[in-house]
Chains A and B, each alone.
Chain A
Amino acid sequence: MKIGSVQIGWALTVTVALGFLMPWVRFAPTAAFDDQAEIVAQLAEDNWLCDYVLMNNHDWRALRQNPAAGESGLQVALTGRDADDAARALAEILFGEAGFKNKALLLAPLLAAAGAVALMRWKKARHWLIALMVTQAAFYFYLRWQLRDAYVNRLVLELNWGVWLTLYGLALMTLIMSVRALLPPKVKW
C-alpha cells in the first residue's frame, strides 16, 4: 500500500483520538518541590523551544513516572470546575481560566479528523485545507501557551502521555497539511 498524505493524515487522526482518550492530567500533590532554584530558573527564562516545541524537564520526568494515571482529555473537556476530582478541577484552571473553556478541547480530535478529510479532498477544496491548517496551528500554539502560562499550576498537576500525543499529533497533521498545500497540484502525494 502506498503511503501518502491521506494515509498519514488518518493515522494522525487516530493518534489524536487515542491521545484524547488517554490520561492527560493527574493530580500530583506530592510533586517534588525540592529544587526551587530550578523552578525559579525555569520560570525566569524564556525558552521558546522547550515551551512551544519540546517539553521541559518537569514534564519529561512526569511522563515516565505513572503513564497510566490521570483524567483523559474527554473527561477534562466534559467536566467543570465543580467536579469532585481535584485533577479535573485543577485542569479547569490549567486549560480554562484564561478565557479558554475546557469544552473547546473537544476541537482537538474534530480538527484532526477534518484535517484528514481535507487532505483527501484537497484538489476540490484547497482553501479549506489551508484554513484548517491555520486553525490547527493556532489551536496547538494556544494550548502550548496555556501550558506554559500555567507552569506553576502544573507543579501539582502533571501532564501525561495523552496530552502530548494529542498535541504532537495535531502539530504533525499541520505539518503534513502545509507540505500538501505547498506542493504543486500535479505532484501526487
Chain B
Amino acid sequence: MRELLYALRFGLPLLAVVTNLSAYTHTVKKGDTLYSLSRAHGVSVEVIVKANPNINAAALRVGQTIEIPGQPNVTGSGTTSPPAVSVTGGGVPTVHVVKKGDTLTAIAKQHKVTVSDLTAWNKLASPQINTGQKLKVSAPPLTVTSTMSATVSGTDAVSASVKPAPPAKPLTVIQPPPEKYLFVSRVKKQIDAPKISRQWKYIVVHHSGSRRGNAAIFEYDHRRRGMENGLAYHFIIGNGTDSGDGEIEIGGRWRRQLKGGHLRTELTENGVEINETAIGICLVGDFEKDRPTRKQIAALIELVNYLNKRAVAAGYAKPRFTVHGTIHPRHTDCPGKNFPKAALFRMFGAGSGE
C-alpha cells in the first residue's frame, strides 16, 4: 500500500485510471483521521487542511472525499491518460545490444533517455562500453498492487505492471520515511549508543514522588543515599520544572547497561534480583496529588515503544511494561493513583502484569 502511494507520488499511472499530478482524492473510511491520512500519504495535516478548507478537522464523515495535495489525482473515467509513461503487459525492460561505434550519448539519444539514466540502470562504473554488451534502456519493471480506497470506478483493487517509455527518471519505489519520534528523536543517539548486553524483561515505571526534579538532582540524591552507580533509574521524563515537559534524560545505568537500583533488592524472580532485568523509567511528579502531564505520557509511550523495538532488533523478547506498585504491591502505590495505569496496560498488551 505504502509503496503504491509513494510510487503514485512520482507519477506512475494505474491501469485504467486517469492520473494527473495535482491531488489525490481520498474517500474517508471508518476510523480515518486527518493525522492518520497525513501519515499514510506523507503530507502534513496542515497541508491537507489547507487544501480542504471546508472540512471539519475534528469530525471527518465516512464517505466524505478529501483532496490530498501532492498526490496523483485518481478519478474514475476509465481511460488512460496520454502520459509520459505507458503500461505494458510484460514489464520487461528494453535492452540495447552495443554495436561497434556506439557511445552512451548516442544510445541515450536513440532511446530518448539520459546518460545518467543508462549509467544508473546498468550500474556502470565508467562511461566505457563494449561491443556486444547488453544495456537496459528503460527502467526496471515495477509491479504495483493496491487495495487503496479512492474514488476509482470499477474495482479499487488494482494490479498493474507498468513500464515508462521513455522515462524521465529511473523508476524506483520510494521507501516510506523512517518513523518520526517527537520525544525520542532528541535522545535517540544516546539511547542507541550502548549495545544491549542483557535481556531486559521488564520496563518498570515510577514517579519521583516530588513535584520537581531532573536526572542530575536525583543522581545527586541517590549517590548521597549510598548508591555507588548513582541514579537508580535508566530514564527520567521531565514535567517542565527542572527539565523540559516530556524531556527524556538518559541515566548512566542505561549508558553502561547496568542493572537498575529502582526496585527493592529482595524482589527476585527465579533467584535473580529483578533489578538485573528491569529498566526503570521515572516520571517527575507526585501522581498521588497531581496527574502526569500529557507530554510526559506521550514521551513515555514513545520511549517504551522504542525500547521494545530496540530489544526485538537486538534479538531479545519485548520487555513487559509494568509499574512499581504492580510489581511490588505491598511495598508501594508508586506511581500514584493518578497515573493512567489501566490505559497504559491496555496499550502495551495483556502481558503487562495488570
Contacts and interface: CB of A to CB of B under 8 A. Distances in A.
A54 B60 CA distance: 13
Interface string A79-103: 0000000000010010001100000
A176 to B, nearest CB: 24
Interface stretch (B9-17, B30-38, B274-282, B321-329): B30-38
Contact of A98 (B34, B290, B295, B297): B290
Contacts of B291: 97-98, 149-150
B343 A155 contact: yes
A90 B342 contact: yes
A57 B301 contact: no
A174 B159 CA distance: 57
Interface residues of A, number: 35
B289 to A, nearest CB: 9
Contacts of B302: 40
Nearest to A32: B31
A36 B347 contact: yes
Contact of A38 (B36, B294, B342, B346): B36
A45 to B, nearest CB: 9
Contact of B294 (A32, A98, A151): A151
A43 B342 contact: no
Contacts of A93: 337-338
Contact of A54 (B31, B58, B179, B298): B58
A33 B246 CA distance: 20
Contacts of B179: 37
Given A33-B347, A36-B305, A56-B58, A153 B342 contact: yes
Interface in B307-343: 337-338, 340, 342-343
B182 interface: yes
Contacts of A38: 33, 35-36, 39
Contacts, number: 89
Interface in A1-57: 29, 31-33, 35-44, 49-50, 54-57
Given A44-B295, A151-B294, A50 B182 contact: no
A90 B297 CA distance: 18
Nearest to B38: A41
A41 B297 contact: no
Interface in A141-156: 148-156
A60 B295 CA distance: 22
A127 interface: no
A121 interface: no
Interface string B184-224: 00000000000000000000000000000000000000000
Contacts of A36: 301, 305, 347
Given A98-B290, A98-B291, A156-B343, A44 B58 contact: no
B344 to A, nearest CB: 7
A39 B290 CA distance: 21
Interface in A97-136: 97-98
Nearest to B180: A37
B340 A152 contact: yes
B182 A40 contact: yes
B298 A44 contact: yes
A84 to B, nearest CB: 15
Interface of A: 29, 31-33, 35-44, 49-50, 54-57, 60-61, 90, 93, 97-98, 148-156
Interface of B: 31, 33-36, 39, 58-60, 179, 182-183, 246, 290-291, 294-295, 297-298, 301-302, 305, 337-338, 340, 342-344, 346-347
Given A49-B58, A55-B58, 17 more contacts: A35-B33, A36-B301, A38-B36, A39-B347, A40-B182, A40-B298, A41-B35, A43-B297, A44-B182, A44-B246, A44-B295, A50-B58, A98-B290, A148-B294, A153-B342, A154-B343, A155-B343
18 contacts: A33-B347, A35-B33, A38-B36, A38-B39, A39-B347, A40-B182, A40-B298, A41-B298, A43-B297, A43-B301, A44-B183, A44-B294, A44-B298, A57-B33, A57-B58, A90-B342, A98-B290, A151-B294
